Structure 1
Amino acid sequence: MFTGIVEELGEVTAVENLGDASRFRLRGPVVTDGARHGDSIAVNGVCLTVVDHEGDEFTADVMAETLKRSSLGALTTGSRVNLERPTAVGARLGGHIVQGHVDGTGEILERTPSEHWEIVKISLPAGLARYVVEKGSITVDGISLTVVDAGSDHFTVSLIPTTLALTTLGVKQPGDPVNLEVDVIAKYVERLLTAGPADGSGQEAGR
């Protein structure tokens, strides 16, 4: 589990095409400190498994399904990426519960700068709109953010200088894709409200 608090802005140092998958080599001195084979690291909000680790770089294999359903397929050598290690049990939950399972991709539509922050408008796939609410949480490229405005096909977020300086959202421009993960609690609530009784008897299980 992650919290959406990006630990560092890393860099893709190599991309190898494996046919039905790709192997990425990424640089990130912070997240590679103590990293081992099999560990998880979120890359732009996608939970990936460390295949190899040497110095301040690690490699991760990304299957075709992940490349298709996320923006990772658009990464090339030199691309900057948001990196985060899983949260430790008992640690502070600085953002919100993030699984690292991308629900879909959006696109940067507009950037409106202000004196001390910037409003970013992002497109929202129709199937995800019902999970996004004003002042709710959403993960954009692995960043835990608060929704300012929620529409039927878009939402906006307000970015403080720290977020602009230390994450990919500081450099992404209109037309660039971003990974989206909605609040998992909203999905579970919807499932519970639409599902029938657990035992099929019309009564709650265990009663």
Structure 2
Amino acid sequence: MAQLKRLEGLADYESTWQAMKTFTENRLPDTENQIWQVEHPPVYTLGQAGKPEHVLNPGKIPVVRCNRGGQVTYHGPGQVVIYPLINLHRANMFVKEYVTALEDAIIHTLNDYGISQACRKDGAPGVYVPMENGELAKIAALGVKVSRGCTYHGLAINVDMDLSPFDGINPCGYAQLKTVDMKTVGVQASWQEVADKVSGYLMDVFA
């Protein structure tokens, strides 16, 4: 099983990251898995191998270099962030299978809201939706860290947020990549409802 934990309010990114890291470093083989629901204040995060040139115009938004995989992304109010702290050995999963499970949970969640064309994109982790011009726009991002077979960091789903900060970066390292939220594609949903729905799918996977 996994324990669900909601971090109240807008949780500071760096202190949340440190808390995940500490939990992972101190967990024992039988420590219960946890799934954290988080909403962050505005912040750009640059992955461990992220290239600073993908940060184009951060303005007053802080940029934090962290130890997850991937390039640069943005977190802010109105975005559901889920951090699964999972023992992959107990789940009998390799990292690739774990990433697929995260994407599946996002796609199932979006499908439940009528976003039926949510899909993957080859070579670009995350979940995308087709726009009217046929291009794919990113609606959810992934960034994972695995230490001693245990995961932290996780996924982010854009629900109802100010999308303009994405213009200050090459999202996930892709120039001109359009980013959307659920509201953009016509879905009105509460933050908590979306957080609980995607968490529920993950709880089922890691039960």
**Structure of greater Rg:** 1
Q: TM-score, normalised by structure 2?
A: 0.28
- Which is helix-richer, 1 or 2? 2
- Which is strand-richer, 1 or 2? 1
